[in-house]
Amino acid sequence: MAKIFNSIIETIGNTPIVKLNKVIGNTKHQFYAKIEYFNPGGSVKDRVALNFILEAERRGELKPGGTIVEATSGNTGVGLAMIASLRGYKCIFVMPEKISEEKRALLRGFGAKVIITPGNVDPEDPRSYISIAKTLVRIIPNSFCSNQYHNPDNVSQHYNGTGPELYEQMDGNVDVFVAGAGTGGTISGVGKFLKEKNSNIKIICADPIGSILYDLYYHKKIMDPPQPYKVEGVGEDMLPDNTHLDIMDGFEKVSDREAFQMARRLTLEEGLCVGPSSALALVGAMKFAEKLDKPSKILVLFPDNGRGYLSKAFNDQWMFENGFIDKVMDQKIVSSLIPTLERKVRVSLQVHSSVRESYEAMKINNCNEILIYEKENLLGLVKLDHLLDSLVSGKLTPMDSVIHLVKSSINFIDKDAPLEKVLEMLSDNKDIVLKNGDHNYIIDKRDIIELLL
What residues contact 428, with CB distance under 8 A and at least 6 apart?
none
Largest CA distance in the chain: 98
Q: What is the DSSP letter of 12?
A: S
3-class SS letters over 115-127: EEECCCCCCCCCC
Quickly count: other Cβ atoms within 10 Å of residue 69's Cβ.
27
CA quadruple 66, 71, 75, 76: dihedral positive or negative? negative
Q: Annotated catalytic, 45?
A: yes
**Alpha helix positions (H), 21-161:** 45-59, 75-87, 101-109, 129-139, 153-157
Which DSSP symbol is given to 184?
A: S
How far is the CA of 316 from the CAs of 45, 309, 419, in angstroms? 28, 12, 14
For residue 288, give the nearest of 217, 167, 170, 202 by alpha carbon: 202
Residue 17 CA from chain centroid, whole number: 18
Q: Are 239 and 257 in contact (CB under 8 A)?
A: no
3-state secondary structure of 334: helix
Pick the catalytic residue: 3, 19, 45, 221? 45
Active-site positions? 45
